[in-house]
Structure 1
Amino acid sequence: MFVQEQDFAARQYKGRRENQEDYYAFADAAELGEEPLSKILLVVGDGLGAHAGGSVASYLAVNAFVRAFHEQPGDASWRLRTALDTANDTLGFITERMPAVAPPMGTTMLSVLISQKEVQWISVGDSPLFLYRKGNLTRLNADHSLAPLLEERVKAGQMTAEEAANHPGRHTLQSALMGMPLTLVDFAADPIKLLPDDIIIAASDGLFTLTHKALQELLHFGQNTTADKITDAILFAIRRINFDRQDNATIGVVKIPGGTTDS
């Protein structure tokens, strides 16, 4: 059984934005007959700031996803995909009833289903999902921004790493929930096996103020503590950088029980 704050926790930081347009939810995903909180669902939505009601879009989509996941029968993969489509359709339904001059509502979505033995997910957009295991930090889901395409151009010698890092379109999304057909969906139909003391991080892109190396080192020093302390440490590190264009940041952490934890 997962224990709140000890094994799973989340925190948010508005950053330099006027509004908090991220929204997240944890939900008990235990099946009938299973011990409560033997499985948890974490859903993170990052509302699109250039669109109408980014904060409303993320709120509506996350709640529609959680509700649909619980209402759907079938295996986990089917329920994740159906819930994603329901969340997308919900935004489309709302957009159809908005004034024609308003842009469509939109949000990224990262949904993660975690037991003490495995993890699987479905995601649209650039919100990252990481696995930290025995000193190594690995991104599990795909990045649906233009960043991967720019990195390919760097590898091909078509631009420098500095040009790619400072490209104005770097964070432009190739896919998001906007009520229209989804162009890109990252879907782990087959779960990944987990080990005791593995750490799962599901976040919005405000996390990227920290470099991959900085996040990995932070997790190395905090791996023997609880999920809430890990989450607090990540947000503290982001705030300490004091980036003048800091985006909203949502950090969700799930630590797989079974190893050593300092209180």
Structure 2
Amino acid sequence: MEILLGGDQDIGKRNDQQDAFYISTPAFGHTEQTDWNLLVVCDGIGGASFGKEAAQITCETFKSSFMTKDKICDVQEALFQATRYSNTEVIAFMRRKGFRTVGGSTLIAAVIKNNMLYWISVGDSHIYLFSEKGLQQLNEDHLYAKVLDVATERGEIDKAVAQNHPQRDSITSFIGIWELKEISSGKTRLSPGTSVVLCTDGLYKTLSEDEIVEVYDPDPQKWAKRLILNTIQKNTEDQDNVTVAIATAKD
């Protein structure tokens, strides 16, 4: 089964591009023959300068680490080791620069090997599986909203308070946090015609899941470009950086 890859991004209405991404294609310098495909998407947080560099460090470190670990570990373990190493590197960068504020990057990564999808995520970037069953988000958002919703279910706070809490959308886990405890991961077998979509919140906060599916193209590069174009054409006030990377299992 052949895996086709594509990706694109746009700065949106921000002054800096704080997203970073990688797909294992010659366009990204990947010329080595491997039995896997890798996609990585990162969204910097914590201020313009630090966010941009944190995303770039996370993306590059994760890629390099995975390519090394894959030769000696199983895929899932290689993903976890690459995630933790990326966290260490961003923290080290933060210390060298003397940053005292909280900051870092989200991380979403996917590996396709032997018709299996392995993924890992930290933060609130999304990974979707698109198949004949529709579009399904695979990971969970690491947001304070989850804490608030649990408190609501326990009767500890009122639902209205939870829904309108000023920190509801605050990220509770990211690359660069001192203690990285929240990491989501999983694996699933891919069928021909299935696609994997990784994106930052600049995409899914502007386009609905229906709008993501509406512009589907079997060529992942064309699909990615359509998604970016449609996001920008929405002309949303304060549109965030937007990045998408897609892998499609060809029939």
TM-score range, shorter-chain basis?
Answer: 0.7 to 0.9
SS of the aligned residue for 1:177 comes to: coil
What do the CA deviations read for 1:114-136 (whole angstroms, capped 9, x no partner)?
A: 13611011110000000011151
Aligned pairs, how many?
240
Cα RMSD of the aligned pairs, angstroms, is: 2.6
SS at match of 2:83: helix
Aligned 8 A contact 2:108 2:121 in 1: yes
Alignment partner for residue 202 of structure 1, among 189, 198, 203? Answer: 198
Query: Which runs of 5 or more structure 1 residues have no equivalent in the other structure?
Result: 29-34, 259-263
Residue identity (%): 25
Deviation of residue 105 (structure 1)?
Answer: 4.3
Within 5 Å, which residues of 2 pair with 1:9-88?
A: 9-27=6-24, 36=33, 38-50=35-47, 53-72=50-69, 73-88=72-87
Partner of 2:241: 248
User: Map of 1:54-133 to 2, 5 A cutoff?
Assistant: 54-72=51-69, 73-99=72-98, 102-115=100-113, 117-133=115-131
Q: 1:24 to 1:149 in 2, by over 3 A?
A: same
- C-alpha distance in structure 1 between counterparts of 2:65 and 2:199, whole Å: 22
Distance 1:143 1:89 in 2: 22
**Residues in 2 aligned to 1:168 and 1:213: alpha-carbon distance in whole angstroms:** 28
Deviations 1:36-58 (A, max 9, x none): 35421111110004375111111
CA distance in structure 2 between the aligned counterparts of 1:148 and 1:206, rounded to whole angstroms: 20
Structure 2 regions of 5+ residues with no counterpart?
26-31
> What secondary structure sits across from 1:97 in the alignment?
helix
Q: CA deviation at 1:215?
A: 1.9
Structure 1: distance between partners of 2:232 and 2:114: 31
**Higher RCO structure (Cα 8 Å, ≥6 apart):** 2
8 Å contact kept, 2:6–2:246: yes
The amino acid across from 1:60 in the alignment is: I
Give the CA deviation at 1:2.
Answer: 4.7
In 1, distance between residues paired with 2:10 and 2:34? 26
**Residue identity in the other structure for 1:22:** D
Q: What TM-score results when the alignment is normalised by the length of structure 2? A: 0.85
Greater displacement, 111-120 / 132-141: 111-120
Aligned-partner Cα distance in 2 for 1:109–1:83: 11
C-alpha deviation, 1:147, in angstroms: 4.1
TM-score, normalised to structure 1, is 0.81
Residue in 2 aligned with 1:214? 211
Q: CA deviation at 1:174?
A: 0.8
Letter in 1 for 2:73: G
Asked if structure 1 preserves the Cα contact closer than 8 Å seen for 2:43 and 2:105, the reply is: yes
**1:192 alignment partner in structure 2:** 188
Contact 2:46–2:102 (CA<8 Å) still a contact in 1? no
- The structural deviation recorded for 1:150 is 5.7
